C-alpha cells in the first residue's frame, strides 16, 4: 500500500521508515523549493503547536526556524544577536501589554 506525503521531513525520517520495513521514495529539493517547503513546514508546525500547546511542538517550531535561518545564510548566532538587539530596543512580551488603540496628539490650528 502506498501513502502519499509530499512534504519536507527531518533528515532521519527515511532511516526510520526503512527500519519499519518500508521503502521511502525521496527526492532532494533545489534551493528555492527548499525555502518554500520550509515556509510550509513552519505553517504546519505552528498549526500543530496551536492545537497541542506542548513544549514538543514548540521545539518543532524552533527546529524549522533554525533551518530557515541556515537556509537563508544566517547563523544561529546572528539570529540570537538580532533577537537580543530587538529585545533591548523594544522589549519582549513579558508584561502582557495589549494595545487597543492610539490617538494622535495633533497641534491645534490657529
Whether the CB-CB separation of 67 and 75 falls below 8 Å is answered with no
67 vs 1: which has the higher pLDDT: 67
d(CA 29, CA 36): 10
Q: Cα 75 vs. chain centroid, distance in angstroms?
A: 15
Percent of the chain beyond pLDDT 70?
Answer: 96
The total number of residues written for the chain in this structure? 110
Q: Kindly indicate the confidence band of residue 42, based on its pLDDT and cuts at 50, 70 and 90.
A: very high
Q: Kindly indicate the confidence band of residue 107, based on its pLDDT and cuts at 50, 70 and 90.
A: low
C-alpha cell at 32: 528555492
Residue 63 makes CB contacts below 8 A (sequence gap 6+) with 10, 45
pLDDT at 54: 98
User: How much is the pTM?
Assistant: 0.86
**In this model, does residue 110 exceed pLDDT 90?**
no
Amino acid at each position: 500500500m502506498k501513502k502519499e506525503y509530499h512534504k519536507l521531513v527531518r533528515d532521519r525520517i527515511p532511516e526510520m521508515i526503512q527500519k519499519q520495513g518500508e521503502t521511502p521514495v525521496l527526492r532532494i529539493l533545489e534551493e528555492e523549493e527548499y525555502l518554500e517547503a520550509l515556509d510550509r513546514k513552519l505553517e504546519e508546525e505552528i498549526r500543530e503547536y496551536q492545537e497541542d500547546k506542548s513544549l514538543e511542538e514548540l521545539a518543532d517550531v524552533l527546529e524549522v526556524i533554525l533551518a530557515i535561518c541556515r537556509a537563508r545564510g544566517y547563523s544561529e548566532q546572528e539570529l540570537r544577536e538580532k533577537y537580543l538587539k530587538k529585545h533591548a530596543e523594544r522589549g519582549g512580551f513579558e508584561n502582557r501589554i495589549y494595545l487597543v488603540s492610539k490617538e494622535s496628539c495633533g497641534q491645534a490650528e490657529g
